């Protein structure tokens, strides 16, 4: 019985020691140290060219950079970069209050929408640069 009690006590102590590295919710409310900037640290986003998008599979997430040059009806627009043009679908709420002209450079975050006859980008977010 004494061996079991010691084993349980050792287990509890080791779990307590292992959880000492976990910051938990209390750490989120703590003040940051002087000079701390915060933010995301990770890999850079990969911007793909329209030419590449035309060769991608359906539903692949993409980021493209260029210009929206023409409205093609309802939520469809013509987007161009240095490698070509493609139709993009941008719902009203994806503009997030921004006004964009053909001279404005934008990043479009979305996914490839490959159909039988053409490939488009379904846009989830418009970022005016």
C-alpha span between 107 and 126 (Å, rounded): 6
Average pLDDT over residues 29-51: 70
Cβ contact 104:116 at 8 Å: no
Two tokens, residue 62: 């993409």
- pLDDT at position 4 is 53
SS3 127: strand
pLDDT(108) > 50: yes
Please report, in angstroms and rounded to a whole number, the separation of the first and last CA atoms in the chain: 70
Q: Which is more confidently placed, 6 or 95? A: 95
C-alpha span between 110 and 112 (Å, rounded): 7
Output the CATH code of domain 50-128.
2.40.50.200
- pLDDT at position 40 is 66
Lowest mean pLDDT among 21-25, 81-85, 108-112: 21-25
pTM of full prediction above 0.85: no
Q: Which is more confidently placed, 34 or 53? A: 53
């Amino acid at each position: 019985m004494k061996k079991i009690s010691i084993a349980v006590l050792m287990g509890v102590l080791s779990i307590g020691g292992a959880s000492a590295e976990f910051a938990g919710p209390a750490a989120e409310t703590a003040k940051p140290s002087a000079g701390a900037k915060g933010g995301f640290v990770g890999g850079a986003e990969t911007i793909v060219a329209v030419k590449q998008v035309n060769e991608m599979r359906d539903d692949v997430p993409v980021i493209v950079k260029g210009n929206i040059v023409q409205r093609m009806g309802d939520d469809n627009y013509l987007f161009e970069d240095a490698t070509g043009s493609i139709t993009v679908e941008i719902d009203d709420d994806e503009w997030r209050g921004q006004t964009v002209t053909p001279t404005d450079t934008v990043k479009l975050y979305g996914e490839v929408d490959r159909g039988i006859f053409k490939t488009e980008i379904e846009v989830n977010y418009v970022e005016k640069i």
